Amino acid sequence: MQTKFLNENIYVKSYASVGSFLEKKSRYGSYLDLIIEDPIANRKTWEEAESAFQKTAFTLALKKASLNNENIDCIFAGDLINQCMASSYAFKEIGIPFCGVYGACSTMALTIISAANLIASKMAENAAAVTSSHFCSAERQYRFPLEYGGQRTPSSQWTATASGCTLLTKNETDIFLSAYNIGKIVDLGVKDSANMGAAMAPAAADTIMSFLHDSNTAPSDYDAIFTGDLGEIGSNLLYGLLNKENIDIKANHHDCGLLLYNKEIMDVHSGASGCGCSAAILNGYIFKEMQRGTFKNILFCATGALLSETSSKQSETIPAIAHLINFRRK
Amino acid sequence: MQTKFLNENIYVKSYASVGSFLEKKSRYGSYLDLIIEDPIANRKTWEEAESAFQKTAFTLALKKASLNNENIDCIFAGDLINQCMASSYAFKEIGIPFCGVYGACSTMALTIISAANLIASKMAENAAAVTSSHFCSAERQYRFPLEYGGQRTPSSQWTATASGCTLLTKNETDIFLSAYNIGKIVDLGVKDSANMGAAMAPAAADTIMSFLHDSNTAPSDYDAIFTGDLGEIGSNLLYGLLNKENIDIKANHHDCGLLLYNKEIMDVHSGASGCGCSAAILNGYIFKEMQRGTFKNILFCATGALLSETSSKQSETIPAIAHLINFRRK
């Protein structure tokens, strides 16, 4: 069975989210723990800045949990920058065992699942899951130099400048992971790297269907179903794919890519994207509203497009993946 | 404690290794399961070829274990190509839950540890750990276009064109993992990307010392201690760093980067490197000699330099990491 039900619950000890000036102006900006107004964050390069965002999110989560570095058994981290550079450089001086993870924009879910496994196998008491993205480091790596001012197609999404960190623990707290689903790679042949929502929707559909089937539940059993960063186009495609299987999630579905920015006042085209997008929404809006009791049982399905600049240039299709976690509140 | 002792043993069900013409000519070439003579492997690009090596290693390991795709709960894979493209594209059609892992040349150890955790947490019966590297895809990404024919410095290492796959299981076999150590990132300030052995040696020293301390053992307690791809320069630096702490591993230390090629007849400078280097030696020479009984208790410490082309251009130092596994034979 693709869905894994945790024998012993793994708990969310603490969480933190960091964004920049654009994320602050967003609908859910007030849920972020910290705003670093200037996206360069007093560093020399965009990559160093992204590392700073990630380290800040980790430090904040640690502080909120009243824990020290010595209490964290392992950090699981990843990002979009070649060789996961933002993560490696963020934690190079921290002295905590480190596992690099690559799941493109699905990384927030993948790092949490990895950390949960380490705790579930009794190898750790506390483990951290961290990820980030940065508009400026992503644009120059995947698309054009910022100075070029290239026009963006209507289907494109805006990479969030944000980071999120979730600290997991074996010790009981209010919010816990009760199940997860590690996705399969799905590739329906989309080649347009400016339409990643379309590439990722089939992966989201595959993972959500697998989870609902394995858990014998319906979308209405959950207070909310969050997808990672499908954006407007991807979300609509997801509805279509699920409708074919007589599954309707529209009533309680939210896409982090549509939650992060405020489309009415911000021209982000199809929505937000980047590892930092779902990371900021999960560790800002979702967990805070779970703690308040607004949500008691949710699905978090982060999506990732596993393309690279090289694969795009080689006219390859875009494989995608989606990893899902069922978070519950006591 | 940084070292984790597995409560229940995790077993090596099967393993396979694949190399190309240069790896075939190497000292341990006869241990490889398959040689794909032409490194492009009938594909259009070096990246596609690398994916083919990885898929071949996985398929061979599965075949040797008489298992099918349906028997594998999860694949953990990673490589050196930007966005771990070789791994994602290798497994995009296989229909098995997939976790991307990034540990640079330490990936063979990190994928095995990740797979072991999934099994140890009772979420899987069988899981695969796979990695690869390819001289041609790595050279053009990190250094120069192949056609340029750039000269290599004496401290540089030759990226192996190889892949290795280890299948882990909860069901008893002869070879098992008894402990592992997830390394911390160590950065002593080396900036020369053509001397990665020097950058990685401190990380290897840190992880080996941590393991020996936690397990209260000495190097002589092991039949052999294998490091990933420190090469000649890195191995000598490792001896020096450990000697300072009164630890002498020289008597039973082997570096996969020095084992893979035959320095007497092949001009690979400081040795071999790449995720595929230690993957090929582990899943070729080491496991086969363990099965024969030559080794009964070994340490496998894969090393990774967490640099990127971007970090090199930005004159950043090279953070490194080493993950260690203690394999034993019944």
A274 near B CB under 8 A: no
Q: How far apart are CA B10 and CA B22, in angstroms?
A: 33
Look at chain A and count its residues: 330
Q: What is the mean pLDDT of residues B282-289?
A: 98
Contact B86, B137 (CB under 8 A): yes
At residue B310, the pLDDT reads: 94
One domain, residues A225 and A281: yes
The residue among B125, B151, B169 that closes a domain is B169
B129 near A CB under 8 A: no
Please report residues of A whose CB lies closer than 8 A to that of B309.
Answer: 82
Q: Mean pLDDT score of chain B, rounded to an integer? A: 96
At residue B161, the pLDDT reads: 97
One domain, residues A198 and A284: yes
At residue B283, the pLDDT reads: 98
One domain, residues B226 and B134: no
At residue B159, the pLDDT reads: 96
pLDDT at A7 over 80: no
Q: Could you tell me which residues come within 8 angstroms of residue B267 by beta carbon, excluding any fewer than 6 positions away?
A: none
Per residue in B91-137, pLDDT tens?
999 999 999 999 999 999 999 999 999 999 999 999 999 999 999 99
Q: How far apart are CA A266 and CA B163, in angstroms?
A: 46
Per residue in A21-40, pLDDT tens?
999 998 899 999 999 999 99
Q: How many domains does chain B have?
A: 2
Contact A110, A323 (CB under 8 A): yes
One domain, residues B143 and B215: no
Among residues B329, B274, B261, which one has the least CA distance to residue B302?
A: B274
Question: Bridge-partner residues for B175, per DSSP?
Answer: B329
Please report residues of B whose CB lies closer than 8 A to that of A116.
Answer: 121
One domain, residues B225 and B158: no
One domain, residues A75 and A197: no
The residue among B140, B169, B198 that closes a domain is B169
At residue A151, the pLDDT reads: 86
Q: How far apart are CA A297 and CA A175, in angstroms?
A: 9
At residue B263, the pLDDT reads: 78
- CA distances from residue B146 to B54, B86, B150 in whole angstroms, order as listed: 22, 19, 8
Structural tokens at position A17? 């989210």
Vertex B200 angle, CA B196 and B203, to 5° = 170
At residue B203, the pLDDT reads: 98
Q: What is the mean pLDDT of residues A161-173?
A: 97
At residue A268, the pLDDT reads: 86
Please report residues of B whose CB lies closer than 8 A to that of A101.
Answer: 99-102
Q: Which amino acid is at A285?
A: Y
One domain, residues A54 and A150: yes
Please report residues of A whose CB lies closer than 8 A to that of B117.
Answer: 114, 117-118, 121, 123
Look up the pTM and report it. 0.98
One domain, residues B134 and B226: no
Q: Which helix (H) or strand (E) holds A56?
A: helix A46-64
Per residue in B41-96, pLDDT tens?
999 999 999 999 999 999 999 999 999 999 999 999 999 999 999 999 999 999 99
Chain B 3-42, residues with CB within 8 Å of chain A CB atoms: 4, 7
- Percent of chain B with pLDDT strictly greater than 90: 91
* Residue B262 banded pLDDT, cuts 50, 70, 90: confident
Q: Could you tell me which residues come within 8 angstroms of residue A204 by beta carbon, excluding any fewer than 6 positions away?
A: A227, A228, A230, A234, A238, A301, A303, A322
CATH number of the domain where residue A37 is located: 3.40.47.40
Q: Mean pLDDT score of chain A, rounded to an integer? A: 96
At residue A315, the pLDDT reads: 95
Nearest CA in chain B to A141: B310
CA distance A17 to chain B (A): 23
Cβ of B102 and A84 within 8 Å? yes
B104 near A CB under 8 A: yes
At residue A26, the pLDDT reads: 87
Cβ of A185 and B92 within 8 Å? yes
- Percent of chain A with pLDDT strictly greater than 90: 91
Structural tokens at position B117? 């955790």
**A146-155, A165-174, B16-25: least confident range:** A146-155
Q: A1: how many CB neighbours lie within 10 A of its CB? A: 11
Q: What is the mean pLDDT of residues A146-150?
A: 87
Q: Strand B158-159 vs strand B297-305: parallel, antiparallel, or unpaired?
A: unpaired
The residue among B142, B169, B196 that closes a domain is B169
B182 vs A95, A99, A187: nearest CB: A99
Tell me how far apart the 2 most distant CA atoms of chain A are, in Å.
52
* Residue A57 banded pLDDT, cuts 50, 70, 90: very high
Structural tokens at position B212? 């020996």
What residue numbers bound the domain in which B106 lies? 3-169
A262 vs B124, residue with greater confidence: B124
Per residue in A191-204, pLDDT tens?
999 999 999 999 99
Structural tokens at position A144? 């054009």
Q: How far apart are CA B74 and CA B69, in angstroms?
A: 10
Q: Which of B71, B83, B98, B119 to mutate to test the interface with A (most CBs of A within 10 A)?
A: B83
Q: How far apart are CA B234 and CA B155, in angstroms?
A: 9
One domain, residues A148 and A285: no
Per residue in A59-95, pLDDT tens?
999 999 999 999 999 999 999 999 999 999 999 999 9
CA distance B252 to chain A (A): 26
**A7-11, A164-168, A222-226: least confident range:** A7-11
At residue A314, the pLDDT reads: 96
Per residue in B197-206, pLDDT tens?
999 999 999 9
pLDDT at A112 over 80: yes
Phi/psi at B245 (5° precision):
-100, 15
Angle between helix A46-64 and A135-142 (nearest 10): 140
Nearest CA in chain B to A318: B89
At residue B149, the pLDDT reads: 84
Contact B211, B300 (CB under 8 A): no
At residue B265, the pLDDT reads: 78
Q: How far apart are CA A35 and CA A20, in angstroms?
A: 5
Among residues B164, B119, B104, which one has the least CA distance to residue B321?
A: B104
Nearest CA in chain B to A310: B82
pLDDT at B7 over 80: no
One domain, residues B110 and B189: no
At residue A265, the pLDDT reads: 78
At residue B264, the pLDDT reads: 78
Please report residues of B whose CB lies closer than 8 A to that of A170.
Answer: none
One domain, residues B179 and B323: yes
Q: How far apart are CA A71 and CA A46, in angstroms?
A: 30
Phi/psi at A125 (5° precision):
-95, -45
Contact A61, A15 (CB under 8 A): yes
Dihedral sign (CA B59, B62, B63, B69): negative
One domain, residues B79 and B220: no
Q: How far apart are CA B6 and CA A239, in angstroms?
A: 44
